[in-house]
A and B are shown apart, each in its own frame.
Chain A
Amino acid sequence: MGAYETQGFKLDNSGKRLVVDPICRIEGHLRVEVNLDKDNVIRNAVSTGTMWRGLEVILKGRDPRDAWAFTERICGVCTGTHALTSVRAVEDALSIKIPENANTIRNLMQLNLQVHDHLVHFYHLHALDWVDVVSALKADPKRTSELAQSISDWPLSSPGYFRDLQNRLKKFVESGQLGPFANAYWGNPAYKLPPEANLMAVAHYLEALDFQKEIVKIHTIFGGKNPHPNWLVGGVPCAINVNDVGAVGALNMERLNYVKSIIDRSKEFVEKVYIPDLLAIASFYKGWLYGGGLSSQAIMSYGDLPNKANDHSAANLMLPRGAIINGDLSKVHDVDIKDPEQIQEFVTHSWYKYADETKGLHPWDGVTEPNYHPEGPNFKGTRTRIENLDESAKYSWIKAPRWRGHAVEVGPLSRMVLGYVQGKQYPFIKDTIDAVLKKLDVPVTALFSTLGRTAARGIECLYCTDLQSAQFDKLMANIKAGDSSTANVEKWDPSTWPKEAKGAGFTEAPRGALGHWVKIKDGKIDNYQCVVPTTWNGSPRDGNGQIGAFEAALMNTPLAKADEPLEILRTLHSFDPCLACSTH
């Protein structure tokens, strides 16, 4: 294809080709190839999903009431969001209305996922792109303590605490067995934090590892386990009983208090550890403004968290819905996942087969037929030994979804920007973003960057802890008002279903807009299609040569060292890629 321009990016694949595979600290299998110019600036980026399992094929012919369990296993990281999307799709198809409590409990579970996933992403999947673990050995524990206390009143911040931690770290490094920290990019000039900030971050890496297992207990209480809690078409499986004989066998006061305590602790951790760390780290990287990609021009969100049950209109959603295209922030477009004109998936550059590959398919009529074929004039290697892929041919297991023909970015940044521009409906989002920008002393446009994406995730996490408290109060108020219903079983029995039906369900998963489309025939699934956040962001090119969000974000980024892909990881990680999700 040579050099061409698309979406404001000049793609040029003539320079040195660099391959990064596996991309680590993500979910699943991702490969990236980039072309560097003589100054080590990325001038062409190619991202490839390298796994496929065929869930859409497997679901055919099965009981729609079981689909949540199958789709939940699309991903154990964003566990639960596919299940929720699935039960919504089936309920939509069968016109099932769920009880108010079920809606609130589902919201609590979804919020819980957001909080957990964002926190784990920040500390365990992303932090090491900004934090140099080895440099932490050089830190002065006393000054680390001062730094920590200056940004937060989190109690674990004494000099002794950091000294002990540093000693443990020293021992660990001296043992020569560096485990997951081995052979990485320590000392790379792209790391900018002083040793003290690094030590503090490493301490919080470990604290967050301890704490994240507490957060998920909300899933455990409502859904029985995490990862992969249980869901139910028509409501939630956990019954409420706060008064009666046998309450100990259901959601009772003790269980509800447990939920409440986790909500409070999560809020505290996010407020006192996550957000201060985020701001502290960001303040050292303010100048590193790469990685904006599509975010300033094309973003989309389906919206989520219906405040009232069964009302999926934008006005009732606590996470915003809408699309912005051509960078026009003044116009928020309506998004309708059932509109065949709006959402379509293409496979021109994906390893799938359509009868007519020049056309896209709306997911209700979607087709998933694998067709592995690495080829093209620039392809190097063999079928089972890929050296270089050729982006002019098929090159990924990810399909290419488009919204009214546009490649869009989805995820926390998209949601937060949509909330920001609709600040009246979402004052928390607007105010928090303003406060963060002010604190860092950067303009709104700074959001459209790698760091902006990372910051948006933190802001969203904070927002979600706030919503969790509010939803919990709502649940208690409703129980107090005498409503303890959690499931609608009117249409549980397949004999009550119409012969044919179709429905669509959506959520805002941690990584972005998620939709499932189902067609039911004679009580069985006739077609099932998922279009997933990382399908959008990790999308390969389409027939018009438009690039997806990953590829766009990598463009024009300089690497400090051509043989160390630190900046590539940094930007990719800012999306929190999930490849098991993307291809499913």
Chain B
Amino acid sequence: MTETFYDVLRRQGISRRSFLKFCSLTATSLGLGSAYAPKIAHAMETKPRTPVIWLEGLECTCCSESFIRSAHPLTKDVVLSMLSLDYHVTLMAAAGHQAEKQLEEIKKKYKGNYILAVEGNPPLNEDGMYCIEGGRPFVEILKETAADAKAVIAWGACASWGCVQAAKPNPTRATPIDKVISGKPIVKVPGCPPIAEVMTGVVTYMLTFDRLPELDRQGRPKMFYGQRIHDKCYRRPHFDAGQFVEHWDDDAARKGYCLYKMGCKGPTTYNACSTVRWNDGVSFPIQSGHGCIGCSEDGFWDKGSFYDRVTDIKQFGIESNADKVGGTAAAVVGGAVVAHAAVSALARARNQTGIDVPKEGDK
């Protein structure tokens, strides 16, 4: 006997009336018109909780840790009532053969209907054996599980971009999941880790509206990744005013001035930290005095020191930033110009005694 979404709502003390209201609201927000409300109600009354298979590759588990910090909705309610977390190595009771069997069963029973959530990523070097589960490469399990999924969620910087293990020289060839999964819609929820309420927000959006959130160019939900930290940072007035922290723990730091000169990557980082904030809205990196390190951005590990404002450009072989390379080049050119001018003046003085005299053979 499988519990439906409706049962779940009823169990949470939601009346039939407000359930129907919810259905008509959903219908309207989907642009279907109120005639569709009964159909949605019927679907919800008969549909089981959506199974979620949560795989972990090379990672640090902080995406799972973040997920369980969700305050609204509470993780407890998400797991017991909103979806069915049918495979999650860090939380599940079973292990070994029993765990493997569980995975197989869910894949079979809910073929094409489960959501695959991926934390971490597969390494491809050594035939994938830098990450082994059940004696075989994680990348195989990932591909097989993705094949029958309805949609895929890429949790965190690992699954979305590669994250720390993919930082240069990426010894294991850790690879973002969209590079090994094809033909499936993938929602990237980057961050290291992503904010808990952003994670549950994305999942509940998918369950409630039964569709993928709108994504930006890079596959991130616009609703949480549409703006930069800098666009909504409460220290922004100090930025515009030209008021910056110049050293750690200086007077400006104690007044909460802008951290731009300490290398803050808020101006180049798309995430919801400055609005949703962390851990039930308590703070976020900048509010606690450290610049944003850009943890939701692709390749943020390889953009030079977190404390540099003008960051390194690795393409120049040596580690150097634009001001160093460009400033040096400009100085060299400037010097060359001066030298050239001197030589020119000399040549002119010697050849022509300062006077232009037409020479024979001139055109």
Seen from chain A, the residues whose Cβ lies within 8 Å of a Cβ on chain B are 19-29, 31, 50-55, 57-58, 61, 63, 65-66, 69-70, 73-77, 79, 120, 124-125, 128, 133, 168, 171-172, 174-177, 179-185, 206, 209-210, 212-213, 216-217, 219-230, 232, 234-241, 244-250, 258, 370, 372, 381, 383-387, 397, 484-487, 489, 492, 563-565, 569, 580
B306 touches A486 (CB 8 A): no
Nearest chain B CB to A212 CB, angstrom units: 7
CB pair A226 B86 closer than 8 Å:
no
State A180–B51 Cα separation when bound (angstroms): 11
Q: Are B169 and A69 in contact (CB under 8 A)?
A: no
**Do B174 and A53 touch across chains, with their CB atoms under 8 A apart?**
yes
With A24-B89, A220-B282 as given contacts, are A63 and B305 in contact (CB-CB < 8 Å)?
yes
Please list the residues of chain B having a beta carbon within 8 angstroms of any beta carbon in chain A.
1-3, 7, 11, 48-49, 51, 56, 58-66, 68-71, 74-76, 79-80, 84-86, 88-102, 105, 123, 126-138, 140, 163-165, 167-172, 174, 192-193, 196, 235, 247-249, 253-257, 273, 278-280, 282-290, 293, 295, 301, 304-307, 319
Contact status B99-A183, CB under 8 Å? yes
Q: Which A-chain residue is minimally distant from B249 (CB atoms)?
A: A487
Residue in B69, B101, B136, B293 whose beta carbon sits within 8 Å of that of A384 in the complex: B136
Establish whether residues A28 and B61, one from each chain, have CB atoms under 8 Å apart when the complex forms: yes
Q: List 28 A-B contacts (CB under 8 A).
A: A21-B133, A29-B132, A54-B170, A57-B169, A58-B169, A63-B305, A73-B192, A75-B61, A76-B59, A77-B61, A124-B68, A128-B93, A171-B3, A171-B7, A182-B92, A213-B68, A213-B75, A220-B278, A224-B284, A224-B288, A226-B69, A229-B288, A230-B293, A238-B289, A250-B256, A370-B171, A383-B127, A492-B247
Tell which of B68, B70, B257 has the most Cβ of chain A within 10 Å: B68
Contacts of B65 in A (CB 8 A): 76-77, 79, 227
Contact B278 A225, beta carbon cutoff 8 Å: yes
Known: A76-B193, A180-B85. A225 touches B164 (CB 8 A): no
CB distance from A447 to the nearest CB of B (A): 26
Closest to A388 in B: B135
For the complex formed, measure the closest distance between the CB of A239 and the CB atoms of chain B, giving whole angstroms.
Answer: 4
A21 touches B96 (CB 8 A): yes
Dominant secondary structure of chain A at its interface with chain B: loop
B80 contact set on A, CB distance < 8 A: 168, 172, 179
Whether the Cβ atoms of B290 and A212 lie closer than 8 Å is: no
* Residues in chain B near residue A372, CB distance under 8 A: 126, 129-130
Given contacts A245-B255, A486-B249, contact A221 B288 (CB under 8 A): yes
B132 contacts A31, CB within 8 Å? yes
Q: Chain A nearest CB: distance from B135 CB in Å?
A: 4
Please determine whether A180 and B79 come into contact, CB atoms closer than 8 angstroms. yes
Q: Closest chain B residue to A64 by CB distance?
A: B305
How far apart are the CA atoms of A238 and B291 in the complex, in Å? 11
Partner of B137, one of A70, A228, A237, A384: A384
Q: Is A569 in contact with B136, judged by CB distance below 8 angstroms? A: no
Minimum Cβ distance to chain A for residue B327 (Å): 17
